Amino acid sequence: MGLGKFELGYLRDKEKCENRPLSEACRQTGDTHDYTLHFQMYTLILHGMNRHSTPLLHELLTLFPCVAIIGVRQCGKTTLLQELPHTWKTYDLEKASDYDQIARDPDLFFRLNRSHIAIDESQRLADIFPALRVAIDSDRQQVGRFVITGSSSPDLLHSIAESLAGRVAILELSPFNLAEACAMPPSDFFQAINEPDAIPKLLTLQPRHELPRLFDYWLRGGYPEPWIKNQIRFHKLWMQNYTQTYIDRDILQLFPGINRQKYRLFIQMLGNLTGTIINYSEVARVLGVSQPTVREYFQIAHGTFIWRHIPAYEKNVTKRIVKHPKGYLRDSGLLHFLLHLTDLDALMAHPQMGRSWESMVIENILRGLDARGIAYDYYHYRTGGGAEIDLILEGEFGLLPIEIKYGQTVSSKALRGIRDFVQERQCPLGIIINNAERVIQYEENLIGIPFSCL
């Protein structure tokens, strides 16, 4: 039986162990078997926990001169760099000596370091991008030369697009998805939906996670370091310091003129705005700022990877639709911290429970697609009459509507919205993600899949 069969930190005597390190907790229970398994998993996490994006990184390095790893702070970008061969040299631009070495003369640096160079936190030095373009163009046919990482900068993608277009592949890394947090391989779900005849393959999916493990992940979110420490007290302090650093350091460095107190209040508001249709004028009224300022705040939150902006699906519509976007905080642990939800009982009783579940499932689906390098666009859909679909994906696999339900049973009435959408647009498939015990085929082209299969 592989390590993936065991829950991270979900010990047989959890109530006695939850505030202690894994090793101490296992000693307290006296279970040597549990201790060995959890120690092995703890060691596995410290070494990067086998990120699902690792194969994609190596593939992209065989195709492009440079790969840019982007994502929210503390999601594991630096750790992913450790997956590069030992012949690579890594420079961290948050380290003064590394920054000075490159900033002194970026062009000369790349002339001296022509290949197998990784630069962490590249957004801290704008001059690096044109210099990197010159270095790549000096030997355009050679691939696998550079890796750069970047976070917390809405201008990062603009700099890459402006200076490195056609020369760089972008890999977006997020905090752990459910399978990564449980040290399991990627689900076959993501490969299946990318194939022409998806339904027979989807019908073979089996649940992979027990509900306690799944709900623990939902409550805690996917940031790697709290999983590594696996202590409730540390998780609270880590989230507190994370949000403070995000506002007081990252945002103020990037936007010196921003009103820190207003933006802090805005971040707090995002907890209650998660999963809702965004009305910019209403948010502006509550904050006491202009509507353009609120739009800028949302752009900053999206560009720094803590918020996901989901536009409305407006293509080939035959009904009056809601054109406002939706959005959500991308990590459920951060959402629950902002809402002061510290345990499952509080979460289950909170009005945001359903939207929290929906956003967590959506984010896991998108993270899984990103890890495989599958190109897609994402939308939400709502008609003036109230029919709604939580997620619509569009890519080479076609148009795929996905509805998300918390319960394990789904009534025929609840399927009406997705059924109509599938029929009107002749989609080959519609998916309902739920908490059932097994995959269910509701109709010829409507299939229910337990989230535990992911």
Q: What is the pLDDT of residue 15?
A: 37
* pLDDT above 90 for 101: yes
Write out the DSSP string of 325-394: -EEEES-HHHHHHHTT--SHHHHHHSTTHHHHHHHHHHHHHHHHHHHHT--EEEEEEEBTTS-EEEEEEE
Q: What is the torsional sign of CA 378, 380, 383, 387?
A: positive
Mean pLDDT rounded to a whole number for the chain: 87
Q: What is the pLDDT of residue 248?
A: 85
* pLDDT above 90 for 120: yes
Q: Give the separation between CA 392 and CA 404, rounded to whole angstroms.
A: 11
More confident residue, 114 or 2: 114
Q: What is the pLDDT of residue 318?
A: 67
Helices 353-372, 211-220: inter-axial angle, 10-degree rounding: 90
Write down the residue that tokens 């420490």 correspond to: 229
Write down the residue that tokens 């020369």 correspond to: 167
Q: How confident is the model at residue 21 (pLDDT cuts 50, 70, 90)?
A: very low
Q: What is the pLDDT of residue 372?
A: 94
Q: What is the pLDDT of residue 371?
A: 95
* Beta bridge pairs of residue 383: 321
Mind listing the pLDDT tens digit for each residue in 211-241?
999 999 999 999 999 998 888 899 999 999 9
Structure tokens of 379? Answer: 């939308």
* pLDDT above 50 for 275: yes
Identity of the highest mean pLDDT range in 46-55, 97-106, 191-200: 97-106
- How confident is the model over 401-418, as a mean pLDDT? 94
Give percent of the chain with pLDDT exceeding 90.
75
* pLDDT above 80 for 9: no
Lowest mean pLDDT of 1-10, 63-72, 261-270, 405-414, name the range. 1-10
Q: Give the separation between CA 192 and CA 209, rounded to whole angstroms.
A: 19
**DSSP state, residue 184:** -
Lowest mean pLDDT of 44-48, 251-255, 356-360, name the range. 44-48
Give percent of the chain with pLDDT exceeding 70.
88
Q: What is the pLDDT of residue 2?
A: 33
Domains and CATH numbers, the chain: 3-46 (no CATH), 54-172 (3.40.50.300), 186-453 (no CATH)
* pLDDT above 70 for 321: yes
Q: Give the separation between CA 85 and CA 83, rounded to whole angstroms.
A: 7
- How confident is the model over 416-441, as a mean pLDDT? 95
Mind listing the pLDDT tens digit for each residue in 27-52?
333 343 333 334 334 334 444 468 99
Q: How confident is the model at residue 152 (pLDDT cuts 50, 70, 90)?
A: low
Other CB atoms within 10 A of residue 248 CB: 12
Q: What is the pLDDT of residue 48?
A: 44
* pTM (2 d.p.): 0.87
Q: What is the pLDDT of residue 230?
A: 86
- How confident is the model over 287-300, as a mean pLDDT? 96
* pLDDT above 70 for 269: yes
* pLDDT above 80 for 180: yes
Candidates 355, 441, 365; CA nearest to 406 is 355
* pLDDT above 80 for 204: yes
* pLDDT above 80 for 336: yes
More confident residue, 318 or 393: 393
Q: How confident is the model at residue 162 (pLDDT cuts 50, 70, 90)?
A: confident
Q: What is the pLDDT of residue 27?
A: 33
DSSP H/E element including 433:
strand 430-434
